[in-house]
Amino acid sequence: MRGVPPATRKPAQRVPELRALLRRANRAYYVDHAPIMSDPEFDRLLAELDALEKAHPELDDPDSPTHRVGGEPIEGFRTIAHRVPMLSIDNAYDTTEVRDWYARVLKGLSRDDAGLFDSTSKDVRLVCDPKIDGLAISLRYEKGRLVHAVTRGDGVKGDDVTHAARVIRAIPLVLESTTPPHVLEVRGEIYLPISEFERINKEREAQDEDLFMNPRNAAAGTLKQLDPGAIAQRRLGFVAHGRGEIDTEFASSYTDLLAQLRALGVPTNRHSIACEGIDKAIKAIEAFDRARHDLDYATDGMVVRVDDFASQAALGTTSKSPRWIMAYKYAPERTTTRLLKVEHQVGKTGKITPRAVMEPVLLSGTTVRHATLHNYGRVRDAATEREGERTDIRIGDLVQVEKAGEIIPQVVGVVLGERPKNAAKVTPPEACPRCAGPVEIEPPEGVEQPLLETARRCVNPECPAQIREKLVWFAGRKQMDIDGLGEKTIDQILAEPSIPLATFADIFRLHEHREKLLALDRMGEKKVDNLLAGIESAKGRGLAKVLSGMGIRYVGDTTSKLLARRFKDLDDLLSVGEESLRPKSLSRDAARALGFPDDPADRPETGLGKDTAPAVHAYLRSKAARRTFDDLARVGVDLTSHDYAAGRAAPQGPFAGKTIVLTGTLAGYDRETLKALLEGMGAKVTGSVSKNTHLVIAGNEAGSKLTKAQDLGVEIWDEARLNDELAKANG
């Protein structure tokens, strides 16, 4: 087809040509580190391919580069067992420990039964790899195609994140070989490039969201996403550094493995270096420490391993770690500077975090002016320059600063000998800095032992710092289920200042702004009318849905339903004292005084206990809560209980009073429908297995919850037993 313009070629010819070109571009960028086209050119060709595939669906291919931009969100994670366990690696923190490890390697390889060396004087070939601060992953290829991507998990089993791996451009969907191994498991690291990390944090800061602490946390949060489209936007990277199950002779050494993987189009780290003996390995470790700060990924050490696979097998493993590999960890860079003031930042969850404002200082190649102080407990109890001594952090102190994960600066100590006489104590805010609403402290005051504060939160659900996330939650399917009011629509409305949307009640006033809604991008009459109809319908959801949707701390879906069974309406709920919210935890005398039975098993279940009820009660009686409830009532939201159980006969049957956990896939039931059915028959359905669980109902591919139930001796039913019991209960 040389000389024929791309636009005039037939789709059946152009589509494979584009796919091959885009795959070659991915390999050039991620494997060869020699890009053959710019990002805009790649995007242009990808858009051309996408348009052709949509116009000619018969040419579609599930492994096409176009499928890397996203897809339908998955419903949840399933667990997959590793065919070969993913063991942890022992760490070393100085070169003496590295030499000690090498001495053990030499001793192990000189044993008579090893038969590899005649003496301990011979050097062993080692390979040093940068220790990328990411997430370990196992990629399983069968006949050259990616079939599973599984996280490390507990080393024996992990979460299936194939939906995420398929949208990471660095991971090949098809290996570059006409005769690949039937089974090839590639072990490696998924990471977030520093440039992407900084871009995402800038966007989160602009949206007043909590910043990610380091690239590893951001990568972990990305893999927990259920929406492949959201994952694709994060532009994660991947490098291979090991093997799992392989069904054929594939490589005799680690360096050979890396070469074979690169030939198949799998990225490996170009900074890997082979070394003869420990002296050269230590020189490589020291050299990389000087160079690593210029890389576009976070590193915290160097992994050193025996190169030869036969030697690895001879050395074997301990119960948790291979003997043939260790990780040298670099000491974090630290410097000192003066603390000028402390700002109090409110995150989307209401958490109030102290942030240090300091005299600018150069740290790991960048100028640092701000650093996290984590929480007010750490402010009150910080390490000093004198080992073992603790003190508080004060304004004016000379503080020690280092970068967590080499990225986020944090204050880690105080140079107490340099404290000025006028150093001022840091005063935690008693009210929310953004909305002046009530603040909750963790652990709560009055605990038996004096614990340091670990968190301070604004509990006003209409705090401006939290309102966007609260609105999204309130409108969600499991809460008020407002059809048409998803994240994108909420963001559109929030971006239009002439449409007020600052409270839950404002949602129900949107009908007053119909013309302004119509003026928004891609908001035609049908879409707006459907949205307003969905909002009107949501007014009648009842008390349980309102409580669940408000995002009150400790009041989720289960607790809100239990409270709605106990109280007939909002006024009934607000009229009781704190003890009435936790009848199960009351002493016999306290229970009698409130008219509850002596036996806790006979008292009503509210989902709240002695540690959580005080916080919920304090919020329900706060001015912020009263304003919220009054505003919802004014716009016509139903605050009566649709689940009130007083006066009804107590539920009977095999599910009444039982705490049940659902796990796996049940062929005949949707999870939410079954949950509602069981709750209607008197059960409490929770998400985790504990010693208080009465019953686990397990479907196909049940994972860790089933295992834990077996370990605890909890009763387990399959779907057939469930059907039998439901039939009996329904007569």
Token pair of 245 as six digits: 């199950």
| Beta strands at 145-151 and 237-246: parallel, antiparallel or unpaired | unpaired
| Given the residues 54, 122, 131, 527, the one annotated as active site | 131
Token pair of 700 as six digits: 């196909």
Please state, in angstroms and rounded to a whole number, the distance separating the CA atoms of residues 297 and 239: 11
Helix (H, G, I), strand (E, B) or coil at 185: strand
Looking at the DSSP bridge assignments, the partners of residue 371 are 356
Token pair of 581 as six digits: 């919210």
Active site residue 283: no
CA 589 to chain centre: 44
Looking at the DSSP bridge assignments, the partners of residue 171 are none
Residues 6+ apart with CB under 8 A from 247: 181, 182, 183, 184
Please state, in angstroms and rounded to a whole number, the distance separating the CA atoms of residues 350 and 694: 35
Nearest CA to 168 out of 68, 259, 294 is that of 68
Please state, in angstroms and rounded to a whole number, the distance separating the CA atoms of residues 98 and 181: 35
The secondary element (H helix, E strand) that includes residue 528 is helix 525-538
Other beta carbons within 10 angstroms of residue 234's beta carbon come to 21
Counts of helices then strands in the chain (DSSP H, E): 25, 26
Do 456 and 375 meet the contact criterion of CB atoms below 8 Å apart? yes
Do 698 and 664 meet the contact criterion of CB atoms below 8 Å apart? yes
For tokens 């102080």, name the residue.
373
CA 35 to chain centre: 32
Q: Which long-range contacts (CB under 8 A, 24 or more apart) does 497-502 make?
A: 501/471, 502/462, 502/464, 502/467
DSSP 222-281: HHT-S-HHHHHTT--EEEEEEEEEESS---SBHHHHHHHHHHTT--B-TT-EEEESHHHH
Biggest alpha carbon–alpha carbon distance for the chain: 93
Residues 6+ apart with CB under 8 A from 658: 682, 683, 684, 694, 695
The secondary element (H helix, E strand) that includes residue 39 is helix 39-55
Token pair of 468 as six digits: 């966007």
Residues 6+ apart with CB under 8 A from 307: 124, 125, 126, 127, 253, 254, 255, 274
The secondary element (H helix, E strand) that includes residue 474 is helix 467-475
Catalytic residue positions, numbered: 131
